[in-house]
Amino acid sequence: MIRFDFSGTTKEVIGVNGIAREDIDILAPLTKKAHESLMKARTEGNVLFYDLVEMPGVLEEVEAMASELSSSFTDVVHLGIGGSSLGPKAIFSALKGPFHNHTSSPRMFFLDNIDPEYMTSLFDMLSLKDTLFVVVSKSGATAETASQFMTALGFMRDMLGETYKNHLVFITDPNKGILRRLAGELNIRSLAIPPEVGGRFSVLTPVGLFPAALCGLDINALMSGAKKMRDRVTKGNVFENPAYLFSCVHFLGSKKGANISVLMPYSNALYDIADWYRQLWAESLGKRYSIDSKEVFTGQTPVKALGATDQHSQVQLYREGPFDKIINIMTVDRYRSDITIPDVLGDIDEFSYLASRRISELIKAEARATMASLIDAGRMTTHISLDTIDEETLGALFMFFEAATAFMGCLLKINPFDQPGVELGKHFTFSLMGRQGFSGLRKGIDSNLRTLPGMNIEI
Ligand code: PA5
């Protein structure tokens, strides 16, 4: 079970900086329209993430491939970036424990970048004959993923000869793109990302499901949690729909200057969920143009924070800095393991209140204390509380945040499913790397990166 409490964003609770219930009521025509347009797009098949939980045959196909491969490899390396990587990484960190790779098999590694030092260290450490590479790219053409793949392929061809093909799985578009073509030509195992699902909404496709199944997670439970949440987040009534209410308070908050949305789980295991949310909220909502082509420069900056760690890093700012944030605190009722603090040094005042108490009691108290202190300072604060961290809860969370993001996009009247702002950077990279057809962009790059006298210093 997940409880969502938005009381800490209201005028009744935080005072003048809060949202009045009437503010949400006033939004009714907009929320109604937003709901109708989302549901219409869903019915027409243009917005598919809600219905991934019922795609026939997908779970079976993923499970069959995972069970065929999982015992053959001690290491799995996930190659991909952005939406193709953050979801599976979030599932792995939430459900497999921080030291899985030290104690269990298969070990999972997510490259998620092209840092040459990290890549060198990883490839130096791997035993290729025991490694499966899962190459994930919807388009197939992303430079980072292409270079990761080419690196792996080069090593594999040298070390494994023709058998390298057994060490690869592609997850990509079912019909288009170079990976799909290579899968056919080279006879490489592959799974499909439905064309209607964009990268950051793809965690409940084979993108998230296959790595999860490879390391023995219950993907049926993941989907059943997502399905339960889906049934809730497709309701039109904002007060019955936690995703819509989350979006409404963020939308109204942004009108009051809250340009930042912090997600702060009190759980190390959920920190990568905050990272996944950071991409989802940023790339979906940060848009220059509205759907009717007006310049709007919209979007809130998502920030990830970790409780209790960031109480000693960020909370000073959240409590006393500008009124530009909504702080979403995520807590866990039942941690999967716990420690009772031994009754040592119980005669010392500074320690005695901790003796024989559980660590979970302390972290929960710290979460409550932080929420109370933020609310005390008039800061918009929401509370998402999870019974525990398991496959079902995680599936539900993914669906919740995806629905909230899509709805927020409709409230903002922008398209949450595209990312035109990422394209120019990609094209500049192609140009710098000499890809055919992109040389004309060099002038623009040089002009943007010119240095002015007096404005650069070398020491
Ligand atoms: O959400 C998105 O669409 C992006 O973050 C993509 O996932 C990312 O750019 C990687 O794209 P691809 O999967 O095509 O390699």
User: Residue 147 has what pLDDT?
Assistant: 97
Would you give the DSSP letter of residue 267?
S
In a domain, 383, yes or no: yes
- What is the tally of structural domains in the chain? 2
Residues with beta carbon inside 6 Å of ligand 1? 81-84, 137-139, 142, 145, 198-200, 283, 419
Closest ligand 1 atom, CA of 280? 1
Q: Which residues contact 322 (CB under 8 A, 6 or more apart)?
A: 257
The per-residue pLDDT for range 198-225, each reduced to its tens digit, is: 999 999 999 999 999 999 999 999 999 9
Q: Is the dihedral of CA 127, 128, 131, 133 positive or negative?
A: positive
Nearest atom of ligand 1 to the alpha carbon of 136:
13
User: Which of 194, 217, 240 corresponds to the end of one domain?
Assistant: 217
pLDDT for the residue numbered 423: 85
The CATH number of the domain where 298 resides is what?
3.40.50.10490
How close is the Cα of 296 to the center of ligand 1, in Å?
Answer: 24
**Residue corresponding to tokens 């270079």:** 147
- Which are the contacts of 111, defined by CB distance < 8 A and separation ≥ 6? 77, 78, 79, 80, 81, 85, 118, 119, 122, 148
For the ranges 222-231, 259-268, 445-454, the lowest mean pLDDT is seen at 445-454
244: pLDDT confidence band, cut at 50, 70 and 90? very high
- In tens, the pLDDT along 410-438 reads 999 999 999 998 888 889 999 999 999 99
Sign of CA dihedral 180, 181, 182, 183: positive
Residues 100, 156 share a domain: yes
Burial of 345 (0-12, 13-18, 19+ CB in 10 A): exposed
Distance (Å) from CA 299 to ligand 1 centroid: 19
C-alpha–C-alpha distance, residues 152 and 128, integer Å: 9
The C-alpha atoms of residue 97 and residue 199 are separated, in whole angstroms, by 25
Do residues 312 and 378 share a domain? yes
Q: Are residues 11 and 116 in the same domain?
A: no
Chain mean pLDDT for the chain: 96
C-beta atoms surrounding 403 within 10 Å: 24
Residue 458 among the catalytic residues: no
Last residue of a domain, which of 217, 239, 254? 217
At 213 the pLDDT is 98
Which residue segment(s) compose the domain that 164 sits in? 49-217
- Half-sphere exposure in the Cβ direction for 16 (13 Å, CA): 1
**Overall average pLDDT of the 145-168 stretch:** 96
When pLDDT is cut at 50, 70 and 90, the band that residue 346 belongs to is confident
Q: Which residue's CA is minimally distant from atom 9 of ligand 1?
A: 82
The catalytically annotated residue of 78, 250, 283, 391 is: 283
pLDDT attached to residue 201? 98
Q: Give me ligand 1 centre to Cα 193, in Å.
A: 12
371 in any annotated domain: yes
114 and 211: one domain? yes
96-143 pLDDT, tens digit each: 989 999 999 999 999 999 999 999 999 999 999 999 999 999 999 899
Is the pLDDT assigned to residue 231 strictly greater than 90?
yes
State the alpha helices, DSSP H only, in 1-115.
Answer: 11-14, 21-26, 28-43, 58-70, 86-96, 100-103
Mean pLDDT across 292-319: 97
Shared domain for 245 and 198, answered yes or no, is: no
- Share of residues in the chain with pLDDT > 90 (%): 97
Same domain, 336 and 202: no
Please check whether residue 117 lies inside any domain of the structure. Answer: yes
Beta-bridge partners for 380 = 326
pLDDT confidence of residue 148? 98
| One domain, residues 279 and 360 | yes
Give the end of a domain, one of 195, 217, 239: 217
**Residue 73: per-residue pLDDT:** 97
Is residue 22 domain-shared with residue 114, that is, in the same domain?
A: no
pTM for the model stands at 0.97
Q: Which of 100, 176, 235, 426 is catalytic?
A: 426
Active site residue 54: no
Q: Say whether both 136 and 15 belong to one domain.
A: no
- Residue 283 is among the residues annotated as catalytic for this protein: yes
